[in-house]
Amino acid sequence: MAVNGDDAYVQLIDQQESQEKLRSHTYRWSAAILPFLFPAIGGFLYGYDIGATSGASLSLESSSTSGTDWYNLSSVQTGLVESGSLYGALIGSILAFTVADYLGRRRELVVAASFYFLGALIQAVAPIFGVLVLGRLVYGLGIGMAMHGAPMYIAETCPGEIRGTLISMKEAFIVLGMLLGYLVGYLAVDTVGGWRIVYSVAGPIALIMAAGMWWLPSSPRWLLLCACKGRGTMDLAEERAAAAIRRLRGTGVHEQVVSHQLQETRQSLEQVQNEASFSEIFEGGSLKALVIGCGLVLFQQITGQPSVLYYAAAIFQSAGFAAASDATRASVLLGFVKVVMTLFAVWKVDKLGRRPLLITGVTGLVLALFLLTVYYAFVQSFSALAVIALLLYVSSYQVSFGPISWLMVSEIFPLRTRGRALSIAVLLNFAANAVVTFAFSPLEAAIGTAATFLVFGIIGIFALVFVIIKVPETKGLSLEEIEEKLSR
């Protein structure tokens, strides 16, 4: 039967009102907190290791505070202590590639928390240098698996309306972890065996993470994905997925929300009957997503973030800041700036979108690198310029590459290849971090400080072009809608 104009208008209004009513029942912040909090602790413990290691190294290498007879470490041994968790993270990323889809997001994070706890314990009681390095590697395994599993779990369980906010908050937790690490290191630096205290603090936090992830439900999308791959019946998977959605959305969630999410996820899984092959990651929409994700995490590192922070204490000292007389205090000050700017990005990411923050932040980052180039090449007497450039760099990074890169890689990969594709991105991130960290000193020695920052600035321009041309806007879209958008 034909529908006249008035009837069609009424139906449209009814449909819009129904969608608005459904949207109003989509999520409750109170229900979203714990499914975010426990995975985010994985990022917190990663940040804690970054901050803690600087203070722990000072304590470990001091004849008066080390509490060992092997405190006189060579430069190679010091490098192994400082980068040991990074090597472990690389191995953890490879491990995640092979087992993450089998374990599921929740159990992967339980395993990550177990590595965190075991690594912290080994480091705290290490009787010899080799055991300490072993503890650093084990702890790093937790980093690699947590940085793979946490963004996936948060993305697959949180409502789309606040997905950007929550995943960006994970970056805030990393920065908060750094701050705690700097603070504990500062407080324990003059205590005999203080480095053991610093490393042991991560243990109880890891136990909280493990208990929380054990209590949380599995990702509904992963449950349905398992059924599609023949691991259980679809009826049972849908029943468990529906129960998980009710827990994740809170008591009294509208049943239309449960049905809608199940239907949307089922539609995206219609073509998934078996395990995705490795080659499939490099095809169609998955390849497009891989280029975007890998490009973001690569530029996140090769625009010089570790290297710029390397000069932080020297820049503050040249400007006459009292805090710069102690590297740990300067780190705390920078950490505070990072927290403030990360919280700004969290506040705005679901309002402004991903692209505006990326474009604005990367532009500021490039400007900061060129200002540092000018400072070291021409005007080292004008120390205020270096301080401004340093704060601009940190602020710009924390509203762009810092949170947005991890957010985007957790959103854009198709469900069928998400686990393996994300592990490739995480592996590339840690590998690039390692390359930049270890290549900085020889590069600086070869071409000078000013030229080094100039190189990073030029790379930053390429990063900006990449963001403008390649990176799509995903604000407000469900994971299934993002997958459809990238498959066109």
How far is residue 12's CA from residue 4's CA, in Å, rounded to a whole number? 12
- Tokens of residue 314, six digits: 């020297």
- Decide which of 228 and 212 is more confident: 212
DSSP per position, 7-70 = HHHHHHHHHHHHHHHHHHTS--HHHHHHHHHHHHHHHHHHHHHHHHHHHHHHHHT-TTTS-SS-
* Gap between the Cα atoms of 31 and 212, Å rounded: 14
Q: What is the pLDDT of residue 325?
A: 41
Check whether 171 has a pLDDT greater than 80.
no
State percent of the chain over pLDDT 90: 28
Structure tokens at 481: 């809608």
Section 132-156 average pLDDT:
91
> For the purposes of burial, counting CB atoms within 10 Å of the CB of 98, is it exposed (0-12), middle (13-18) or buried (19 or more)?
exposed
Question: Tokens 């690594």 map to which residue?
Answer: 119
Q: Among the CATH numbers 1.10.10.1800, 1.20.210.10, 3.40.50.450, 1.20.1250.20, which is that of 277-488? A: 1.20.1250.20
Q: Which pLDDT does position 50 carry in this prediction? A: 83
CA triplet 105, 109, 115: central angle to 5 degrees? 145
Identity of residue 441: S
> What radius of gyration, in Å, describes the C-alpha atoms of the chain?
24
**Considering the entire predicted model, what is its pTM?**
0.77
Q: Which residue has the higher pLDDT, 100 or 454?
A: 454
Confidence class for position 29, pLDDT limits 50, 70, 90: low
The rounded distance, in Å, linking the Cα atoms of 40 and 167 is 8
Average pLDDT over residues 253-278: 68
Summary mean pLDDT of the chain: 81
What is the tens place of the pLDDT at every residue in 4-28?
Answer: 544 443 343 444 444 444 444 455 6
Give residue 273's pLDDT: 53
**Comparing 31-218 with 277-488, is the CATH topology the same?**
yes
User: pLDDT tens across 76-122, in order?
Assistant: 787 788 778 888 988 998 888 777 778 888 999 999 999 999 999 99
Query: What per-residue confidence (pLDDT) applies to 71?
Result: 85
In 3D space, the residue among 374, 375, 391 whose CA is nearest the CA of residue 383 turns out to be 375
**Which among 373, 382, 383 has a CA at the least distance from the CA of 460?**
373
Place of tokens 């750094």: 178
Predicted local confidence at residue 3, as pLDDT: 46
Six token digits for residue 338: 């990072």
Per-residue pLDDT tens digits for 290-311: 999 999 999 998 998 866 765 6
31-218 belongs to which CATH class? mainly alpha
Separation between Cα atoms, residue 174 and residue 167, nearest integer Å: 11
Asked if pLDDT for residue 223 goes beyond 50, the answer is: yes
Domain ranges of the chain: 31-218, 220-268, 277-488
Q: How far apart are CA 60 and CA 474, in angstroms?
A: 46
How far is it between the farthest Cα atoms of the chain? 91
Residue 463 in contact with residue 305, Cβ under 8 Å?
no
3-state DSSP assignment of residue 393: helix
3-state SS record for 257-304 = HHHHHHHHHHHHCCCCCCCCCHHHHHCHHHHHHHHHHHHHHHHHHHCC
| Amino acid 331: pLDDT | 62
| pLDDT beyond 70 at 234 | yes
pLDDT score recorded for residue 403? 85
Under the banding of pLDDT at 50, 70 and 90, the label for residue 400 is: very high
